[in-house]
Amino acid sequence: MLGGVQSATVAKFNKLSVRTVGDMLYFFPHRHNDFAHMKSVADLEIGKDQTVVVSVWEASEARLRSGRKATEAVVGDETGNLRVIWYNQPYLAQRLRPNTRVVLSGRIVVDYKGRRVFEAPEYEVVDQETDNLIHTGRLVPVYPLTAGLSARTARRLVKAAVDRYAPALPDFLPDAIREREALLPLPEAVRQAHYPDSMEGNDRARRRLAFDELFLMQIAVMGRKQQWQQEKGNPLPVNQDMLDAFLRALPFPLTNAQRRVLGDVLADMSRERPMSRLLQGDVGSGKTVVALAALLTALANGFQGALMAPTEVLAEQHFLTVRRLLGSSPRTEERDKLFVTYLDPWPRPIAVGLLTSASTKKQKQELGERVAAGAVQLLVGTHALIQEDVAFERLGLAVVDEQHRFGVEQRSALRQKGYNPHLLAMTATPIPRTLALTLYGDLDLSVIDEMPPGRKPVRTRAIGPDKREAAYRFIREQVSQGRQAFTICPLIEESEAIEAKAAVKEFQRLSVDVFPDLRLGLLHGRMSGKDKDDVMRRFREGELNILVSTAVVEVGIDVPNATVMLIEGADRFGLAQLHQFRGRVGRGEHASYCVLVSDSPSEEARERLAVMETTHDGFKLAEEDLRLRGPGEFFGTRQSGLPDLRMARLSDLPLLEMARKEAQRVFDADPRLTLAEHRLLKVEMARRMPGGAAEVS
């Protein structure tokens, strides 16, 4: 569709999900180089975003004490010199030969020795064309690139597309809304998003385009909610005897918050309209038992239940928890990934199965047959549960754990597995309310706002690399008292394979140099399901003292004997994410500790981590994170479930409110978008929100 462009270049663009002219118009730069306001090195101010043109004096590969690779360079202009550091890009040292001229754009920080450092700036080598651009002194777009696609080619092609096609873009937004909210017309917004006349022009363009994203998303969410509310499901009233028996057998009483939320859930389930509820509760607040009580209620009504978790490790753990809590009957039979038990006063056997992608084909098939025949009542698993060949006989309740890890489509795929089953989505990500209404507006909300009694806050320390040895001594001490520890390897965004390799190295270093006398295990995303299960089992059973892991243990893992969580490269994670890691300890009776190791030279990074030392409230941390880093970072780059928001910032609450209000107005007047003035809007919905639009129309 990109006519007149070389096929090799088309392939590069395709890699960036740009396939049509329309995609190219929406292929926005992630920022602009302000060639009109360039600084000299001497004028650079600490903490602000700035652009300089400098010469590279020297650049070399460096290795930080964490083992992370980096490139360090010294650059300068006629006013002075400056140190630059880039993490994880050792190849840069090759590219930046002495005397190369580069444009650097980013932020200056102060390192612990008080020197100014340009930390991980964006860079562009100055060639003929950038040179011209610099001299025209304007705002120049900087596009995301991929190997083999140069900044220059990207600029040239996008510019041609914008000049030729943007003026003719039909504006799908009704005039009334555009005028009321003072939004730019679409052609103008697209042009200014690429080649703005000024920063203000660019801001107005962003505002219009961000509005579009939020507005369309809201209409889709409203359509989903309305559609769902019209469906009829299966009323599943409480079986009080069975519920009481289950609660009595628990090793603890429910907290008031758990009781209240369970009440919400059971009331929903007893109605004919299918439940659609989001259960929010901080890490360790005890969501699993609430889910289990609800699942048993479905079973007591003769229906099946499903419990879906985002990782194999977590699915396996849930399976074991269910077995521990339900499988204590003397008549319990164990089979591989399946157990059958009797729950008084329920007269029939209950079979619980585990299905993950680690299951063999034969296991999958056997289990699948039993599920289809209704002979397995409760199925626990990963997204393997929503694959096509899994069919339930009578699914009454589907629970999605750590729901922010799944997309809307996956949630609805699980829902398709039965005749309108009730749906309970759970999350430990504490999303501020306005945001929750926007993202999950199709769900009702319940919050567990109370921790089980006796939990002590996890004592948290942020340290530099110089204190690492002391942290190791501390781990050793805890292990000698019979406790266990996690160490998390730095996040490496390039690829899971590179991350796995780094984790193996870290594991070897710790096993050989630091803790040769202890038993260590390794967990990373590239291991087979069986190996993961195996190492988790050994850690859970106390056979391993220390688990060296990548971020895969972030969600859900419950090993109460573990008391130390040491996180390397802590500055690279979001606060909300660090809070999740920290939630892996402090789950038992022992005092627990979290150590955040960071080798970022910046004071800012240290301060951000210091917030963790004093704040233990997930909501506050999430808000702080949202404010400091924006939602992309907040939700973590690997998490799905977030619509494709390129321009909108979920932290922009006023714009969110406005988009909701306008969407509501359109939706109330014309839910199916059949009016003439909504014709283009309907087309745009279908283009951008394939799932949502189908449900609206």
Residue 382 interacting entry, from ligand ADP, Mg ion, none, C-beta within 5 to 8 Å by type: none
Compare residues 210 and 426 and give the one whose CB is closer to ligand ADP. 426
What DSSP string runs through 415-457? HTTSSS-EEEEEE-S---HHHHHHHTTTSEEEEE--PPTTPPP
Nearer to ligand ADP, 258 or 297 (CB): 258
Per rule CB under 6 A, is residue 281 in the interface with ligand ADP? yes
Q: Which residue is nearest to ligand ADP (CB)?
A: 286
> Which segment (25-33, 249-257, 468-476, 595-603) binds ligand ADP by CB under 6 A?
249-257
**Residue 161 half-sphere exposure toward CB, CA atoms < 13 A:** 24
The reply on whether position 247 binds ligand ADP by CB under 6 A is no
User: Closer CB to Mg ion, residue 430 or residue 556?
Assistant: 556
Residue 604 sits in the site that holds ligand ADP (CB under 6 A)? no
Pick from 90, 187, 407, 452 the residue near ligand ADP by CB under 6 A: 452
Say which entry of Mg ion, ligand ADP, none residue 252 contacts (CB below 5 to 8 A, set by partner kind). ligand ADP
Number of residues this chain uses to bind Mg ion (CB under 5 A): 1
C-alpha 492/C-alpha 503 separation (Å) is 10
Task: Give the count of beta carbons closer than 10 Å to the beta carbon of residue 8.
Answer: 9
Q: For every residue of 575-623, which 3-state class applies, written as one string? A: HHHHHHHHCCCCCCCCCCEEEEECCCCCHHHHHHHHHHHHCCCHHHHHH
Among 284, 305, 353, 569, binds ligand ADP (CB under 6 A): 284
- Per-residue contact flags (x/-) with ligand ADP for residues 418 to 437, judged by CB under 6 A: ----------x---------
Buried b (16+ CB within 10 A) or exposed e, 677-689: ebebbbebbeebb
> How many angstroms separate the CA atoms of 371 and 389, rounded?
11
Q: Which of Mg ion, ligand ADP, none lies near 247, with the C-beta cut-off 5 to 8 A by kind?
A: none
Least distance (Å) from Mg ion to the CB of residue 401? 6
What whole-number distance in Å separates Cα of residue 436 and Cα of residue 19?
32
Amino acid at 91: Y
Distance of CA 41 to the CA centre of its chain: 37
Q: Answer yes or no whether residue 255 interacts with ligand ADP by CB under 6 A.
A: yes
DSSP label at residue 461: E
**Binding to ligand ADP, residues 355-394 (CB under 6 A):** none
What are the φ/ψ torsions at residue 88 (nearest 5 degrees)? 55, 25
What, of ligand ADP, Mg ion, none, does residue 121 touch, CB below 5 to 8 Å by kind?
Answer: none
Q: Which residues, including other chains, have CB under 8 Å from residue 620's CB and lie 6 or more apart?
A: none
* 34 scored as a contact of ligand ADP (CB under 6 A): no
Judged by CB under 6 A, the stretch of 113-121, 276-284, 413-421, 669-677 that binds ligand ADP is: 276-284
Which range of residues in 9-17, 139-147, 281-289, 475-483 is near ligand ADP by CB under 6 A?
281-289
Beta carbon nearer to ligand ADP, 91 or 252: 252
Q: Does 310 bind ligand ADP (CB under 6 A)?
A: no
Contact between 339 and 332 (Cβ < 8 Å): yes
- Please state, as a whole number, how many other Cβ atoms lie within 10 Å of the Cβ of residue 435: 18
Token pair of 652 as six digits: 């922009």
* Given 218, 258, 280, 550, the residue binding ligand ADP (CB under 6 A): 258
For residue 262, the minimal CB distance to ligand ADP (Å) is 11
Identify the CA nearest to 632 among candidates 574, 580, 555.
Answer: 574
457 is a site residue for ligand ADP (CB under 6 A): no
Q: Are strands 116-125 and 139-142 parallel, antiparallel or unpaired?
A: unpaired
Tokens of 129: 């064309």
Q: In this chain, which stretch among 5-13, 376-384, 533-541, 553-561 interacts with Mg ion, using CB under 5 A? A: 553-561
235, 423 Cβ separation under 8 angstroms:
no
Do the Cβ atoms of 341 and 349 come closer than 8 Å?
A: yes
C-alpha closest to that of 53 among 128, 119, 123: 123
User: What does 422 interact with, of Mg ion, ligand ADP, none (CB < 5 to 8 A by kind)?
Assistant: none
Choose which of 368, 396, 556, 641 interacts with Mg ion (CB under 5 A): 556
> How many residues make contact with ligand ADP (CB under 6 A)?
17
What is the per-residue DSSP string for 167-195? GG----S-HHHHHHTTPPPHHHHHHHHHS
Contacts for 569 with CB less than 8 Å, ≥ 6 apart: 66, 68, 489, 490, 491, 597, 598, 599
Which residue lies nearer to ligand ADP by CB, 321 or 387?
Answer: 321
Smallest distance from the beta carbon of 281 to ligand ADP, in angstroms? Answer: 5
Q: Least Å distance between CB 311 and ligand ADP?
A: 13
Residues 6+ apart with CB under 8 A from 301: 234, 236, 237, 239, 396
Within residues 275-334, the interface with Mg ion by CB under 5 A covers none
Hey, which residues between 150 and 169 contact ligand ADP (CB under 6 A)? none
Question: Are 495 and 526 spatial neighbours (Cβ–Cβ below 8 Å)?
Answer: no
Pick out residues in 537-596 that bind ligand ADP (CB under 6 A): 558, 560, 587
CB 287, min distance to ligand ADP, A: 4
User: From Mg ion, ligand ADP, none, which one binds at residue 284 (CB under 5 to 8 Å depending on kind)?
Assistant: ligand ADP
Q: Which residue, 149 or 292, is less far from ligand ADP as judged by CB?
A: 292
Q: Which stretch binds Mg ion (CB under 5 A): 96-104, 157-165, 415-423, 549-557?
A: 549-557
The residue among 401 and 506 lying less far from ligand ADP, judged by its C-beta, is: 401
Contacts to Mg ion by CB under 5 A: 556
Contacts to ligand ADP by CB under 6 A: 252, 254-255, 258, 281, 283-289, 428, 452, 558, 560, 587
